[in-house]
Chain A
C-alpha cells in the first residue's frame, strides 16, 4: 500500500474585502484611476451641492400645496370630488381582496400602493384635507379587505367580476349622468394621466396580440390588413395621430356626431401602442421553437388551443421586458395629449403657470411632475422584475 502524502491545506483567498482594500482595488489602483476618482469626487460634490442648495434653499415649493388638487384631478368640480373618492375606495377594496386571496404578486403591488397612500396620509406639508382624508380611508380599506380576503377564498369569482366591471363603473362614476354629469373636459391632472395610461395599457395588450397573430396568419387577407395597420401606425408620430383623432375626425363625421374627446384620446393611444405591442409579441412568437407548434399539432390541438396553451405563454414570457418598456413609454406618452387640449398632469402644470400668481415657477412644477412620473414608471419596472422573477425568466 502506497503512502499517501498530503499537501498542507491552503485556504481559498478571502472574497471578503475590508473597506480599505476595496478602496484601493477599485478606486486607487494606479495613478490614473486615482486621478479619475478625485475628479469624479469633485464633480459629484459640485453637482450635489448645486442640487442640494436649489432643492432646499432656492426652490419656491410654495407653488405645490395650493395647486395639489389641480395637479391630481384638474378642473374636476370641488363638490363632485366624492366621485373620485368612490372610485379610489372601490379600487382599494378590490386590491386588498385580491392581495388577500391570491397573495404573491398581488400582495406586493397592493402593499406598494398602500405605502403610497400612507405616505400621502402622513405627508408633513399642508395638504388639502380631502386628499389626506381619501388617502387615510383608502389605506385603511386596503388593509381591512386584505385581512378579510385571506379568509374568503370563495370570493374569488366575485373579485374577478369586480375587476372586469371596474372600468365601466369608473367611467360611469366619474362622468355621472343627466343634469349633474361632468364633462370630460374637466377631467385633468394625474387622474386623467392614469385613466389614459391604464386604459391604453389594458386595451392595447389583446389588440396587440391579435395583430401579432394576424401578421403571422396563413390567411392573406388577415395578414395584409395586419401588416398594413402595423406599418401605417408605426410610420406616423403619435402627435400626428392625436391631431387627426382630435381635430380631423370631427370634419369627417356627419353632422353633430362628436365622440368624446377623452374617449378619442383613449382610442388613439390604444391603437397606437397596439401596433408596437404587436411587434413586441411577434418577437416573442418567433422565439418559440417550431417544435412546440409541431408538438401541439401532434397531440391534436387546434389553432386557438395551440396558441393559448402552448405558444403564447412562452412567447409572452420571453418578451416581458420589452412589453413593460412599451407600457412605460405609453405612460409617458400620455403627456402628449396636452397638445389636443386635454390637461393631463403636464398640461395642468402649464395651466398653473398661466395664473399671474404663479408665473416663473416652472422649475419647481416641472421637477415635481418629473418626480411623479418617476415614481410611477419605477414602480412599473419594479413590478415587471417581480413578475420575471416569479416566472423564472432567464433561468429556464
Chain B
C-alpha cells in the first residue's frame, strides 16, 4: 500500500514536468491579436497621467493611449483593447507568460532588462530622468550639500541604484530610507520624516502638487540618470515588435508633420512620405502586416505625440522638456517611412 502511494506521486509529478512539452505555438502575437480581435496591454493601474481609471471605470493616461494606438493600428478600433493593471514586480512575468501582448508601464529601458528578462523594447515614448525634490527653505543647489541628509526612495526600482552610484562617485554620505509604496514615500516627505525625496522627475512634478504647500518645495535642476520609458514586447517576436515600434514612430512622425486628430481625415499633401504614411501610396501597411490606413487610424484615435502628451501629461504639470520632436531640439526622432 505504501509503495502504491509513492508511485502515484511519481507518476503525477512526471505528468506535471512533461506539461511544458505540449506547449508550442511560434505564431506571432500580431496574428494572435488579430484572431482574438482584442489587444491585451499591461499598464500601471494607478499612476497619475500615465495610467489610471476614472470614476466610471474608463482607462485614461499617456501609456494607455499608446495601448489604444496599437489597437487602432492593428484592429482599426482603439476600443478593442483590454488593459491589465500590473505591479512593478509582476510586469515582466506577465509579459513572458503571454498573459499580456505588450507592456506599456513606465518601464526604463536598460541593458539588463533587454538581455536577461527575455523582452524587447520599442522606442521610448517618454524620456525621463531621476531628480531630487527638496524643501525650498533648505536652499540647496548641489548634491554635495546633501551630506548627512535623509533621502527617501521607493524600493525595487532603478532609482535606488542610481542614487547610491551617484552619491558614491561624489563621496557624499547620506541616510537612505526605502518605501515600498509611492504614496507612503510622499506623505513621509510631506511630514518631514525624510529631508529629500528622489525619483523620476515626472513623478516628482506630478506629486508635488499634492503636498500640503507645493510652493515650499523645489525640484533641483540636476538629473542623475537616464530613464527612457517605453513599450516592451516578448523577446524574439520581431514581427510584433516591429508593429509596436512603428506605432510609436507614427505618433512622432505625425507631430513632425503637423498631422493632427482633427486634420488627418482630409489631410491633402503631395509629400510622398506623408502619402505613404497615410496609406495613399506604397505598401508600408502590408510590410508590417497591417491595413493600408493603419497610421491614419492611430492619429484618428489618439492624435499625434504632442496631442497625447498635452491631453495626459500637461494637466498634471509636466513640461515637454526633451520630449519634443528633434526638429524642435528634442529627442523624438521618427525613422523614415519608406
Give a binary string over B83-110; 1 marks a CB under 8 Å from any A CB, 0 the rest: 0111101100110111100000000000
Q: From B4, B48, B98, give the contact of A250 (CB < 8 A).
A: B98
The complex places the Cα of A195 from the Cα of B60 at a distance, in Å, of 27
For the complex formed, measure the closest distance between the CB of B187 and the CB atoms of chain A, giving whole angstroms.
8
Are A221 and B86 interface neighbours, CB within 8 A?
no
A85 within 8 A of B: no
The complex places the Cα of A246 from the Cα of B207 at a distance, in Å, of 32
Closest to A340 in B: B90
For the complex formed, measure the closest distance between the CB of A19 and the CB atoms of chain B, giving whole angstroms.
43
For the complex formed, measure the closest distance between the CB of A181 and the CB atoms of chain B, giving whole angstroms.
12
Are A354 and B45 interface neighbours, CB within 8 A?
yes
Contacts of B51 in A (CB 8 A): 354
For the complex formed, measure the closest distance between the CB of B91 and the CB atoms of chain A, giving whole angstroms.
10
B221 within 8 A of A: no
Are A221 and B8 interface neighbours, CB within 8 A?
yes
Are A341 and B53 interface neighbours, CB within 8 A?
no
The complex places the Cα of A343 from the Cα of B87 at a distance, in Å, of 12
Give a binary string over B37-73; 1 marks a CB under 8 Å from any A CB, 0 the rest: 0000000111111011111110010000000000000
> How many of A's residues come within 8 Å of B, CB to CB?
47
Are A353 and B94 interface neighbours, CB within 8 A?
no
The complex places the Cα of A247 from the Cα of B99 at a distance, in Å, of 7
Are B45 and A70 interface neighbours, CB within 8 A?
no
Q: From A256, A351, A356, give the contact of B85 (CB < 8 A).
A: A351
Are A356 and B1 interface neighbours, CB within 8 A?
no
Are B5 and A221 interface neighbours, CB within 8 A?
yes
Contacts of A235 in B (CB 8 A): none
Closest to B99 in A: A250
B20 within 8 A of A: yes
Contacts of B5 in A (CB 8 A): 220-225
Closest to B51 in A: A354
Are B1 and A221 interface neighbours, CB within 8 A?
yes
Question: Which of chain A's residues 174-225 have a Cβ closer than 8 Å to chain B?
Answer: 183, 185-186, 219-225
Are B23 and A254 interface neighbours, CB within 8 A?
yes
Give a binary string over A284-302; 1 marks a CB under 8 Å from any B CB, 0 the rest: 0000000000000000000
Are B8 and A70 interface neighbours, CB within 8 A?
no
B283 within 8 A of A: no
The complex places the Cα of A92 from the Cα of B212 at a distance, in Å, of 46
Closest to A222 in B: B5
Q: From A223, A250, A254, A351, give the contact of B45 (CB < 8 A).
A: A351
Closest to A185 in B: B82
Q: From A225, A250, A353, A355, give the contact of B54 (CB < 8 A).
A: A355
Question: Which of chain B's residues 1-49 have a Cβ closer than 8 Å to chain A?
Answer: 1-2, 4-6, 8-9, 16, 19-20, 22-25, 32, 44-49
For the complex formed, measure the closest distance between the CB of A60 and the CB atoms of chain B, giving whole angstroms.
12
The complex places the Cα of A67 from the Cα of B57 at a distance, in Å, of 10
Contacts A251-B20, A254-B22 given; indicate if A350 touches B82 (C-beta within 8 A).
no
Contacts A355-B54, A356-B316 given; indicate if A362 touches B183 (C-beta within 8 A).
yes
B308 within 8 A of A: no
Most buried by A among B16, B97, B210: B97
Contacts of B177 in A (CB 8 A): none
Contacts of B319 in A (CB 8 A): none
A236 within 8 A of B: no
Are B45 and A343 interface neighbours, CB within 8 A?
yes
Closest to A255 in B: B25
A395 within 8 A of B: no
Contacts of A354 in B (CB 8 A): 44-48, 51-53
The complex places the Cα of A256 from the Cα of B29 at a distance, in Å, of 11
For the complex formed, measure the closest distance between the CB of A183 and the CB atoms of chain B, giving whole angstroms.
6
The complex places the Cα of A77 from the Cα of B82 at a distance, in Å, of 13
B206 within 8 A of A: yes
A78 within 8 A of B: yes
Closest to B211 in A: A360
A interface: dominant SS: helix
The complex places the Cα of A361 from the Cα of B56 at a distance, in Å, of 18
The complex places the Cα of A176 from the Cα of B330 at a distance, in Å, of 49
B315 within 8 A of A: yes
Contacts of B183 in A (CB 8 A): 353, 362
Are A347 and B55 interface neighbours, CB within 8 A?
no
Contacts of B56 in A (CB 8 A): 69-70, 78
Q: From A66, A69, A359, give the contact of B207 (CB < 8 A).
A: A359
Question: Which of chain A's residues 225-272 have a Cβ closer than 8 Å to chain B?
Answer: 225, 228, 243, 246-248, 250-256, 258
Question: Which of chain B's residues 217-241 have a Cβ closer than 8 Å to chain A?
Answer: none
Q: From B20, B24, B46, B93, give the contact of A353 (CB < 8 A).
A: B46
Closest to B212 in A: A360
Are B46 and A351 interface neighbours, CB within 8 A?
yes
The complex places the Cα of A343 from the Cα of B52 at a distance, in Å, of 12
Closest to B6 in A: A224
A332 within 8 A of B: no
The complex places the Cα of A4 from the Cα of B145 at a distance, in Å, of 101
The complex places the Cα of A343 from the Cα of B46 at a distance, in Å, of 11
A100 within 8 A of B: no
For the complex formed, measure the closest distance between the CB of A281 and the CB atoms of chain B, giving whole angstroms.
22
Contacts of B210 in A (CB 8 A): 359-360
Q: From B52, B84, B99, give the contact of A356 (CB < 8 A).
A: B52
Question: Which of chain A's residues 334-357 have a Cβ closer than 8 Å to chain B?
Answer: 339-341, 343, 347, 350-356
Give a binary string over A317-345; 1 marks a CB under 8 Å from any B CB, 0 the rest: 00000000000000000000001110100
For the complex formed, measure the closest distance between the CB of A348 and the CB atoms of chain B, giving whole angstroms.
9
A74 within 8 A of B: yes
Closest to A359 in B: B210
A103 within 8 A of B: no
Are B55 and A70 interface neighbours, CB within 8 A?
yes
User: Can you sample 6 A-B contacts with CB below 8 Å?
Assistant: A223-B5, A243-B90, A247-B99, A340-B90, A341-B85, A355-B48
A219-B1, A220-B1, A343-B45 given; name 15 further pairs at CB < 8 Å: A66-B55, A70-B55, A185-B82, A221-B8, A222-B5, A224-B6, A225-B9, A250-B98, A254-B22, A255-B22, A340-B90, A341-B87, A347-B85, A359-B206, A362-B187
Could you list which residues of chain A lie within 8 angstroms of chain B, going by C-beta atoms?
66-67, 69-70, 74-78, 183, 185-186, 219-225, 228, 243, 246-248, 250-256, 258, 339-341, 343, 347, 350-356, 359-360, 362
The 6 closest A-B pairs by CB, nearest first: A354-B46, A221-B5, A354-B52, A75-B57, A254-B22, A360-B210
